[in-house]
Amino acid sequence: MKQHDITLANALTYSGTLPLIGSVITLYFPVAGLDGALIASTYSAVIISFLCGIHWATYLFFAERCPRNLLITSNIVALLAWVSLQATNQLITTVLQALCFLYLFALDSKLRDAGILADWFYRLRRNATIIVVLCLLVIAGLIP
């Protein structure tokens, strides 16, 4: 991949964490009409589904080298993300979503070990996962 594309992927990925960071900020500095927890959980479900789509496509191109059947696992995780939105307790929603992000990152670790994911992309996913999970845990009230 060209350096320009890697730079763009980094910028887009880190920019993609901004809605969650903004959601955390609204907990400490409320903005009328904005529900930071709702924004975070809805956005997280979308991003989890997006990441599952990446895994699904990865399996289509690298099935023989994939450590797991990503067609199945990506669909299960995407469904869990959407089911999490049905929870009536914000703690359950955000913790389930944090677990989805962590599971997807664990899959990325296996994909990197199998030589499918580039090291730069793995590091990017690790950093974004840390940001996202920390934001979700703050929103869940598990980190003050």
Give 36: exposed, middle or buried? Use CB within 10 Å, 0-12, 13-18, 19+: buried
Residue 28 lies in a domain: yes
Q: Does pLDDT of 113 surpass 90?
A: yes
Residue 144 lies in a domain: no
Segment 33-61 shows an average pLDDT of 96
Give 15: exposed, middle or buried? Use CB within 10 Å, 0-12, 13-18, 19+: exposed
Segment 132-138 shows an average pLDDT of 98
Q: Does pLDDT of 144 surpass 90?
A: no
- Average pLDDT of the chain, as a whole number: 95
Domain that holds residue 101: 3-139
N-to-C CA span, the chain = 40
Q: How many domains does the chain have?
A: 1
Residue 13 lies in a domain: yes
Distance from C-alpha of 102 to C-alpha of 33, rounded to nearest angstrom: 31
Distance from C-alpha of 119 to C-alpha of 108, rounded to nearest angstrom: 10
For 49, the token pair is 């589904």
Per-residue pLDDT band at 67 (split at 50, 70, 90): confident
In the chain, what percentage of residues exceed pLDDT 90?
93
